Structure 1
């Protein structure tokens, strides 16, 4: 029985708008006992907040344990390598909370790691501190490489845009956790309790969801409900060079083609 690792924005909802068929898809997975998990590059929210948003926007009853954020994955990555590590955090509540939950010590002095995600209060002082710590030997961990995020009124700079400044000034390449890195998706596969080859990574973005799924050894399904649409899916595939295993109009079609 296959399992599913499901993207959120563009797949389950578009900002504050539900995507048709998403709630039906989750209902059918639950009814037939397919394991699934929501995996998101968003590092700003706690899992509880993500689950609440799913319910409020998509009408899906979700539990925090069904959510894996890039903040959780980054904190777990660090804790697995150095339990109780000292971390300098550039990020929002979701990342600070994840660090504490993983037993890490959030500090501004002599950190072992600089961990960075989206931070809408990013400043020159934070940039300066991050570069100083990295130059002094701290490892640099990036929750996700997204340059832009969809939002009200268009697109806004993402964690990857902030990382560009830190990378340039520190001359250090970060360890990337979120999609398309296989680290986040590898943790999601472990939570499913299935071999990677029996898990479907589902999303609307070829360069993150689908490329990440392939890197993690999973099957991949592109749904034409967000960034990829029926009008230009072929063009996006040609430009990215990333070929999904399945291309589906929506999530109900995916269920019919992958679970039957």
Structure 2
């Protein structure tokens, strides 16, 4: 998918009003693509769309919550009617919350799974029939390195992102035979509102000052998409560490994670303190 081939193509981004989704909208617009944005935050969605239109980009928007299957399907249909059949789907809407074993916050976990995993599934469902009919398209899901091995205090987030990567893995072989590319993105720490809130919950900078900027993350994703890669991961040193961790026996992995996370304030909180101090606050889209 070269820059020339992106010109005039219809791109749909969920969670497109902030974070990585926003930067990808800008990056695709810069390549001459038609951009469709879906986000539940209308206050951020419309100003971005207007800025794109003023720069000459063909743009369509819909305010929708990816948890609402029928509403999302309608939003995708409206955008496809305005831009043409969707050529590339970027499913990037996501949230994260922290919890401790003293309070697993099951209602919050359910919301995380609904947004991160089912929101991705619903978006794919909405665009896939047209792609299958045309035997062409590209589906991109934003997973996370936290979905490769679970990390402490983020069980819902880790589980939801693991589900995203397994789901896309399962679809990829079958869809490849039907002319459709599937790409799974595994970001590390990226400077977005999501990371700011996670840092606030944890009580320290999770990235230790080494987070990618959202612009750099979008550039890395765009480069991988143009090569139709199955996996895109960044930063490379962190990805290698995560892959290495898959070889660690559980007891050793637990010891390493315990040492790493002992520096975070949340590790010393019980369930009541975690809730009082905001450790389970909802976060914006990635």
Structure with bigger strand share is 1
What is the TM-score when the length of structure 1 is the normalising length? Answer: 0.37
TM-score (norm 2): 0.34
